[in-house]
Amino acid sequence: MERDVFRTYYVNIYGEVGLGSGGHVSDWVVKLGGSVITCKDIPYCFRLDVMNNIAKQILRISEGSKVVLVHGGGSFGHYEASISDSSRTSRTSHSMITLNFLVNSVLRDQNIPTYTVPGRFFSMNAVNDVLSNGMIPVIFGDILANGMVISGDDITIEIARNGYKAIFLTDVEGIMNSDGKVLECVESTDEFPLIDSNVSDVTGGILTKVRKILEAGINAIIANPGDENILRITSGIRVGTRVGKCD
């Protein structure tokens, strides 16, 4: 019989002992970071290959767990929102709906029953309504009519506060120190530097993400989706960086 690494006993990232996908079933909120589903330095560049790979993994985990997806703005929303003129709100809104269409198209190709909840309409009631009708909510970072940007990170954190375990997917393997080494766990933003980047990010980038996770008092994993990393994380295997209490 073929050995399935995702069905072995584990002491998981949250310190629980379980039986992989056959044991305790968790609810997961997965933030598809704009840095990984788009090329953040090239406007409107969607990473189809990466999204395909993410979709395959989401299909597998959704067979045994409740899953909620959120995606960020990348070189769609952040690019448009960074240009300040009278059409900023309309352009940014349109860019996020375009990105959401692309994300959903790939998920739908894998026969994943998605249902979009734009960030402007996000509430836990809306999420629960989609789930109770047998679909996977796909929420996106958004812009309100008054020009206020809603970060997908905040939405992800709010869902995590409602009992879901959070995974933030990025284009890097995790939080890196000044030598480029991926840290296993961080519990303060003082533990790592901001590595130079010249991409647009109107919601604050990695430092704000980590600060908000810590302030919310939740645990989250920041990792690259890789070929199987989402499956590994949801099976309790340590991947990327854990943000939260490090004991």
Ligand X SMILES: Nc1ncnc2c1ncn2[C@@H]1O[C@H](COP(=O)(O)OP(=O)(O)OP(=O)(O)O)[C@@H](O)[C@H]1O
Ligand Y SMILES: C=C(C)CCOP(=O)(O)O
By the criterion CB under 6 A, which residues form the site for ligand Y? 34, 72-73, 77-78, 81, 92, 96, 141-143, 149, 151-153, 202-203
- Exposed/middle/buried for 32, CB within 10 Å: 0-12, 13-18, 19+? buried
Q: Looking only at residues 188 through 207 of this chain, which bind ligand X when binding is defined by CB under 6 A?
A: 192-195, 197, 201, 203, 205-206
Which tokens go with 115?
A: 């249902």
Residue number, 200 or 235, with CB nearest to ligand Y: 200
* Secondary structure percentages of the chain, helix, strand, coil, to 5: 40, 20, 40
In angstroms, what is the minimal distance from the CB of 94 to ligand Y?
11
Choose the contact partner of 171 out of ligand Y, ligand X, none; CB within 5 to 8 A by kind.
ligand X
Q: Return the closest-CA partner of residue 25 out of 79, 80, 70, 63.
A: 63
Q: Tell me the window of 117-125, 172-180, 211-219, 223-231 that interacts with ligand X (CB under 6 A).
A: 172-180
Sign of the alpha-carbon torsion through 150, 174, 102, 26: negative
Q: How far apart are CA 168 and CA 225, in angstroms?
A: 9
Choose the contact partner of 195 out of ligand X, ligand Y, none; CB within 5 to 8 A by kind.
ligand X
In angstroms, what is the minimal distance from the CB of 184 to ligand Y?
25
Residue number, 212 or 232, with CB nearest to ligand X: 212
Report if residue 229 touches ligand X, rule: CB under 6 A. Answer: no
Q: How far apart are CA 13 and CA 166, in angstroms?
A: 12
With b for 16 or more beta-carbon neighbours within 10 A and e for fewer, the 76-110 pattern comes to bbbbbbeeeeeebbebbbebbeebbebbbebbeeb
Q: Looking only at residues 8 through 67 of this chain, which bind ligand X when binding is defined by CB under 6 A?
A: 33-36
Residue number, 151 or 224, with CB nearest to ligand Y: 151
Residue number, 129 or 199, with CB nearest to ligand X: 199
Choose the contact partner of 176 out of ligand Y, ligand X, none; CB within 5 to 8 A by kind.
ligand X
Per DSSP, helices labelled H in 110-196 are: 124-132, 152-161
Residues that bind ligand X (CB under 6 A): 33-36, 72-74, 78, 152, 170-172, 175-176, 192-195, 197, 201, 203, 205-206, 209
